[in-house]
């Protein structure tokens, strides 16, 4: 697929939760196009709906209205497992299966070669000897990178990252951020990342999206969105009046 066409698109996405008589709208008419080779950072106050939007992209949740389109085809036309192979999701807290790191990669793709495993270990900046270590012996930072390597084992086109460094110390956060940039620049993936930290968005992001009350308020180059927002709500977020 040419980079001139979006790999992923949201069209008027809405999500309502709660009782049918009085639902609460947590995603409100969200539309956007995402392209390969870029990191998109979702910013906004706590509870703004950033993670809720991300979960709609690979059908962890279903929209109340609107559509997700992946590679030119409605997401609802894919079996969920097939969609999640192409649109991978990394959670805040890593969960690895019992066994070795190698076992975890084989669980994701039982046809994966040793060469591909070694490449994924390189991409995620893990130690070369980690493949045969027991997953329970790893640090949280190592587990998060193994979880990312496992996600990449399915050869996704889009990677969804829900605050991937929230549980990590600054040193490991820096390594994860380096990996995130590699996914866009070297692997040419579309990377969509939720963050609560504008400075992190500046370090890793290309395009920024400001979400408030489930709505896309403003978007643009992340430097502009963080440092010179164009909307009143963007300025309030910059000035920490929206938390």
Q: Per-residue pLDDT tens for 48-77?
A: 999 999 999 999 999 999 999 999 999 999
Question: pTM (2 decimals)?
Answer: 0.94
| Separation of alpha carbons 81 and 87, rounded Å | 10
Q: Is the pLDDT of residue 9 over 90?
A: yes
Show the domains of the chain with their CATH numbers. Answer: 8-238 (3.40.50.300)
Please give the C-alpha separations between residue 83 and each of 17, 145, 151, 168, 197, in angstroms, as whole numbers. Answer: 23, 22, 13, 29, 29
Q: Is the four-CA dihedral 102, 169, 54, 188 of positive or negative sign?
A: negative
Higher pLDDT, 172 or 242: 172
Q: What is the pLDDT of residue 3?
A: 58
Please give the C-alpha separations between residue 20 and each of 17, 23, 24, 243, in angstroms, as whole numbers. Answer: 8, 5, 9, 29
Q: What is the pLDDT of residue 187?
A: 94
Q: What is the pLDDT of residue 1?
A: 40
Contact in structure between 52 and 27 (CB atoms under 8 Å): yes
Confidence of residue 2 (pLDDT cuts 50, 70, 90): very low
Contact in structure between 27 and 47 (CB atoms under 8 Å): no
The average confidence (pLDDT) of the chain is: 94
Phi, psi values for residue 153, rounded to 5°: -65, -20
Q: Is the pLDDT of residue 207 over 80?
A: yes
Region 211-217 average pLDDT: 97
In terms of Cα–Cα distance, which of 184, 185, 231 is closest to 211? 231
43 CB burial (10 A radius; 0-12, 13-18, 19+): buried
Rounded-to-10 torsion of CA 227, 229, 234, 236: 60
Q: Is the pLDDT of residue 167 over 80?
A: no
Region 87-99 average pLDDT: 93
Cβ neighbors of 239 (< 8 A, separation 6 or more) are none
- Token duo for residue 149: 């390597």
The terminus-to-terminus CA distance of the chain in angstroms comes to 39
Please give the C-alpha separations between residue 12 and each of 27, 63, 65, 201, 242, in angstroms, as whole numbers. Answer: 9, 10, 7, 25, 24
| Separation of alpha carbons 85 and 25, rounded Å | 28
Per-residue burial over 160-196, b = 16 or more CB atoms within 10 Å of its CB, e = otherwise: bbbbbbeebeeebbebbbebbebbbeebebbbbbbbb
Q: Is the pLDDT of residue 221 over 50?
A: yes
Confidence of residue 25 (pLDDT cuts 50, 70, 90): very high
| Separation of alpha carbons 172 and 14, rounded Å | 35
| Separation of alpha carbons 42 and 207, rounded Å | 9
């Amino acid at each position: 697929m040419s980079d001139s066409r979006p790999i992923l698109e949201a069209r008027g996405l809405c999500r309502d939760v709660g009782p049918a008589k009085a639902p609460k709208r947590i995603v409100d008419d969200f539309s956007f196009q995402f392209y390969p080779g870029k990191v998109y950072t979702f910013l906004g106050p706590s509870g703004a709906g950033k993670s809720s939007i991300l979960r709609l992209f690979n059908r962890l949740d279903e929209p109340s209205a609107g559509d997700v389109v992946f590679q030119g085809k409605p997401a609802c036309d894919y079996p969920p497992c097939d969609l999640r192979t192409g649109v991978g999701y990394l959670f805040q807290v890593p969960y690895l299966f019992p066994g070795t790191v190698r076992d975890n990669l084989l669980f994701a793709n039982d046809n994966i070669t040793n060469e591909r495993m070694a490449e994924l270990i390189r991409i995620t900046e893990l130690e070369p000897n980690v493949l045969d270590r027991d997953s329970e012996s790893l640090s949280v930072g190592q587990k998060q990178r193994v979880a990312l390597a496992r996600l990449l084992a399915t050869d996704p086109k889009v990677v969804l990252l829900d605050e991937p460094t929230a549980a990590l110390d600054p040193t490991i956060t820096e390594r994860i951020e380096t990996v995130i940039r590699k996914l866009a620049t070297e692997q040419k993936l579309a990377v969509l990342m939720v963050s609560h930290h504008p400075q992190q968005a500046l370090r890793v992001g290309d395009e920024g999206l400001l979400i408030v009350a489930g709505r896309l308020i403003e978007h643009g180059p992340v430097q502009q969105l963080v440092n010179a927002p164009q909307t009143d709500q963007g300025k309030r977020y910059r000035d920490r009046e929206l938390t």
